[in-house]
Structure 1
Amino acid sequence: MTARVERLVTSGQFTLDGGTWDVDNNVWIVGDDHEAVVIDAAHDADAIARAVGDRRLTAIVCTHAHNDHVNAAPALADRTGAVIWLHRDDLPLWQRTHPDRLPDAWLSDGQVIEAAGADLTVLHTPGHAPGAVCLYDPGLGTVFTGDTLFSGGPGATGRSYSHFPTIIDSIRDRLLTLPPETEVLTGHGDSTTVGAEAPHLDEWIKRGH
């Protein structure tokens, strides 16, 4: 059975550098009728568990460790037995939210996470956060970009642990090289495609997001 992608929007707060903002997050569920993985367990473990239903949840993959993307991960893992995956470079951010609980496993560039007919290849794309990753499945024609690339440009780089030239390099070298029809499923807001965003790279650089 071919994997399918489901979107759940959860709401909560993002907190960093002494500021707090209300945010809506995209939680992506990838799998079939029997098995699934969750990309970014944001805010509401109960709502995510309901969306997964009676499927076996094998993994919770964190695109990065800002609190609004990982705050429900331990509770969801405790309920389901799923493995929490994070890139090691984001451990300092993770520990701000979960000082007493480490992720279960470390993501590495080029690694493939299998999920019920999906093969999610890890692309290390630092910039928004040091350990930010995107997950690309050529079979689905989809890349999950977390907060690295949105409809309209790069993710924010004005706060701790972020760096604008680095995110531009990540987008240029790792994302805009994907087929133009690749669907870009983001951490917040609307989806887009690689082809829709690629022509605007020079604008983003000049704007210096």
Structure 2
Amino acid sequence: MTIQLSQDEILRRGLDAFAELGYDAASVRELGRRIGVNHNFINDRYGSKLDFWRTVVDYAIAELGHDDQPEPDDPALALSHRVHALFRTAAQRPQLYRLVWDEASRDTERLDYLFERYLRPAVDETLPTVKRAAPEGARIPVDLLYFVLTGAISGIVQEPLARRLGRTTSAGSSNDARTAVADALASYVLSGLNGEATQPRTLLP
């Protein structure tokens, strides 16, 4: 008997596979095995592995939704709102962040796709809030700002390492546990952005 999979389930399983294996190791045959379809399925339905990867990424980002809450007028509160929302999003969808991190280490058309469609727009949307909240005279380079904001997300997505470093509560155990880890990491990042992040003094664009 053939089990009919929904489009959502196919793309979620595809995301899991790409996040765990990386693009190159996720062969069409292995993707089919993990999804639960025959090895011709990806090419027949999506055209190619790359087209399937794009569909998976678009689906995963769309599934995150959009924060419809109005941003606070106070600059510090607005920055806190954005950073906590970012970290909570990572806690709810760590596979997507694993995929992005993996792709960010390779100069490929897949990184171009992520950067042009999602990463650059997200940075452009966040920069005005950071500028408003930064201490007077602070100049934070955009690349460093990105890695400050996203680097600490490793504490969410690298759960096996976190346990080896002494974490006793698994971030994957419940929504409350994931949210608690996300909020703790966001608070550490905000303490740096709101306080000592004044060097190097390179102008923001």
TM-score relative to the length of structure 1? 0.27
Larger helix fraction of residues: 2
Q: Give the structure with higher Rg (CA).
A: 2
Larger strand fraction of residues: 1
- By relative contact order (CA 8 Å, sep 6+), the higher-ranking structure is 2
